[in-house]
Structure 1
């Protein structure tokens, strides 16, 4: 299984970032606007339309406010396995770290997922950073354990 890890530093209050992450149905307006064009809730799932035209059904697995951790899975005919977790923690200077991990099969989809996650990370920083004057720092850590 391929594991892709992203550590994203965002110049924003961790509580504000967590509030956007946990708003499962508003990923297109609060977390990654422009990268995700639309999101519709369907029970415990959301149907997400990405800017590249792809559509995914993402099932909410867990939303833990105490740990600021959200877990979801993608349900798809193309993807055998997809589970993801997003966790928000405080960093120095009032910034935060968003740790995003995706485990995916088949292996050959990992490079595509990695590139998509990089684009999403940039969209997050742009949407959530406190000030347009501050250049957010992206520190992706992409590891594929195969």
Structure 2
């Protein structure tokens, strides 16, 4: 199983960043606009439309407020198996670090998923940085 890990540092506080990430129905407006163009909620899942037109159903595994961690899987797209998490950690300077880890099969889709996670991480950083006045 292959893994892609990206991270970003933002001046937004961990609480501010987590509030945006845990709002699972607003990926296209709050977390990653420009990377995600639409998000629709279903019972236990969200359906996400990406900038390239790909539509993926993402069952939500957990929203852990104490750990500031969101975990989901994906149905559709490049991978036959996909499990991912976003986790927010506070930094000593008052900002936050967000780590996105995705585990998937088959291994040979790693180049496509690496590009996607990197683009998504850039979009998230832009949105989270805008939270700081």
Q: TM-score range by the shorter chain?
A: over 0.9
1-structure distance, mates of 2:18, 2:6: 16
In structure 2, stretches of 5+ residues that fail to align are: none
Comparing 77-86 with 110-119, greater Cα deviation is found at: 77-86
- List gaps (5 residues or longer) in structure 1: 134-146
Other-structure match for 2:47:
47
- Once the two structures are superposed, residues 94-125 of structure 1 have per-residue CA deviations (whole angstroms, 9 ceiling, x without a partner) of 11000110001011111111111111111111
Q: Which runs of 4+ in 1 moved over 3 A?
A: 130-133
Taking the aligned partners of 1:108 and 1:44, their CA distance within structure 2 comes to: 29
Separation in 2, partners of 1:40, 1:87: 22
Greater shift, 15-24 or 70-79, is seen at: 70-79
Aligned-pair RMSD on alpha carbons?
A: 1.7
Distance 1:87 1:131 in 2: 18
How many residues were matched structurally? Answer: 133
TM-score (norm 1): 0.86
- Map 1:122-133; keep pairs closer than 5 Å: 122-130=122-130
| TM-score of the pair, normalised by structure 2 | 0.94
Aligned twin of 1:102: 102
